[in-house]
Chain A
């Protein structure tokens, strides 16, 4: 059964001149359980909008979304889904540990358990020594790790990631890919990963969906059957990326 199913979703945004902007057209998407599905596409083709629709932050104008087979409007277990945004969105007045605890506070987890799980999750992303640092005291890579920890601490079964590493330099980005794959293996969640970087998609995903812009629609869906871990510099990855790039 697919964990996330997007069924012929279309979306228009109103424009200031009274016209409307057609952002998504008849999008179909199937994300099987424990899969990593990457969505690639040029800037502005509606990738973030699609994730927002899956997360229930934006309502589609046509079509619908099913989560664990339940229609989004009837879905109740929203806390089993977390969203890592394009910006890290760390609250500047909270330390790393307090930022990670944010999601648990919403779920009403008691303080002692909260502390334990925050420490556990910070260790998981390799940030144990920085629990008390404020965001402005952390490097870009560390901030990404905190944001990742915040999305993981509630032990979600669905993780939506919107170009979470696009601002990091390549070597740190590769590190983060390894982390994501390792943690996914450990926690066994389903991931929808948005990126404009084809190599990143090929390294991470079981399935890559290519969107074309204006209006955003699915151009191609490609299964990636290479064994993990995938070396971003290997010829296999390069070949897959080349094939995908043709339809971008």
Chain B
């Protein structure tokens, strides 16, 4: 008798699809619990700290909540938010278009790249605050002041990444396109662009964050409406609870943007990537 004893617990491959293990869901639940605990802890620390400080230094969570509900109900809230958002998006969109186009062109032509490299260094070393002052001189109290500052902050970031990304383009793919006699524009659109898209995406995310932050500074200097202006007014009047309320609004908006727009978009765009097997 040489039959191999098979233990009844040993899983047999019967050719049917393997059931998906619940491990992934368990991990997500655990993460959600951790996040919740962190939130509660932060609120508790905030509450305790606010007991020992006057409200204009550190308002209590409850007071901020009340200020926030009043803020949302106020007639100018959505207008201010909308105006700021519009400036950020305009500046960012212009930065993305110019950053990608110029980055691709500089990457595709070595001579142009070497010629313009110092200009890029110059732009990146100038601080956003200085751009804000220039913008104020050039555009005065208008939307373009903020848009310009967002643009000058975001554009070099995107441009640099795209430009560097063009160096990672696989020469074999370009040669393949050449055997099909593709035009230079087609090569840029069909080989270069998909190659740099993942890099572009991560730099655009960074650039949008920077742009959003400097936009507030720009608005305090060179605008008559928008979140930055309201923040400055609240600070001048020592309405610290208002400042907190605006801050929380902005943080919540950025988180929502990340979860509702960027994450799903990223998942869709980069479906083709090989997923590293989770261990």
Please give the residue numbers on chain A whose beta carbons come within 8 Å of chain B beta carbons, in ascending order: 55, 57, 78-79, 81-83, 85, 87, 89, 91-95, 102-103, 105-107, 134, 136, 154
- B113-154 contact mask (Cβ, 8 Å, vs A): 1 or 0: 000000000000000000000000000000000000000000
List residues of chain B with CB within 8 A of the CB of A154: 180
Interchain CB contact under 8 A, A89 and B176: yes
List residues of chain B with CB within 8 A of the CB of A55: 179
Is B79 positioned at the interface, with any CB of A under 8 Å from its CB? Answer: no
Interchain CB contact under 8 A, B274 and A102: no
Interchain CB contact under 8 A, A102 and B194: no
Is B186 positioned at the interface, with any CB of A under 8 Å from its CB? Answer: yes
Closest to A77 in B: B181
**The one of A95, A107, A136 that contacts B274, using a Cβ cutoff of 8 Å:** A136
Is B63 positioned at the interface, with any CB of A under 8 Å from its CB? Answer: no
In order of increasing CB-CB distance, the 4 nearest A-B pairs are A106-B180, A136-B274, A106-B182, A83-B179
Q: How far is the CA of A27 from the CA of B273 in the complex (A)?
A: 43
Interchain CB contact under 8 A, A106 and B194: no
Which of B176, B190, B274 has the most C-beta atoms of chain A within 10 angstroms of its own C-beta?
Answer: B176
Please give the residue numbers on chain B whose beta carbons come within 8 Å of chain A beta carbons, in ascending order: 172-173, 175-182, 186, 190-191, 194, 197, 271-274
**The one of A92, A93, A95, A106 that contacts B181, using a Cβ cutoff of 8 Å:** A106
List residues of chain A with CB within 8 A of the CB of B177: 102, 106
Interchain CB contact under 8 A, A102 and B179: no
Extra inter-chain contacts (7) besides given A102-B176, A102-B190, A134-B272, CB under 8 Å = A83-B179, A85-B172, A85-B175, A89-B172, A92-B273, A95-B272, A102-B177
B171 smallest CB distance to A (angstroms): 11
Q: How far is the CA of A155 from the CA of B183 in the complex (A)?
A: 20
Q: List 23 A-B contacts (CB under 8 A).
A: A57-B175, A57-B178, A57-B179, A79-B180, A79-B181, A81-B179, A82-B179, A82-B180, A83-B179, A87-B172, A89-B176, A91-B191, A94-B194, A102-B176, A102-B177, A102-B180, A105-B182, A105-B190, A106-B180, A106-B182, A136-B272, A136-B274, A154-B180
Interchain CB contact under 8 A, A94 and B180: no
Interchain CB contact under 8 A, A85 and B194: no
Q: In the complex where A79-B180, A93-B194 touch, is A106 in contact with B172 (Cβ < 8 A)?
A: no
Q: How far is the CA of A94 from the CA of B271 in the complex (A)?
A: 10
Interchain CB contact under 8 A, A94 and B172: no
Closest to B271 in A: A134
List residues of chain A with CB within 8 A of the CB of B182: 105-106
Q: How far is the CA of A57 from the CA of B180 in the complex (A)?
A: 11
Which of B180, B182, B190 has the most C-beta atoms of chain A within 10 angstroms of its own C-beta?
Answer: B180
List residues of chain A with CB within 8 A of the CB of B178: 57
Interchain CB contact under 8 A, B186 and A105: yes
List residues of chain B with CB within 8 A of the CB of A94: 194, 272
B1 smallest CB distance to A (angstroms): 38
Q: How far is the CA of A82 from the CA of B179 in the complex (A)?
A: 7
Closest to A81 in B: B179
List residues of chain A with CB within 8 A of the CB of B173: 89, 91
Interchain CB contact under 8 A, B180 and A107: yes
A111 smallest CB distance to B (angstroms): 15
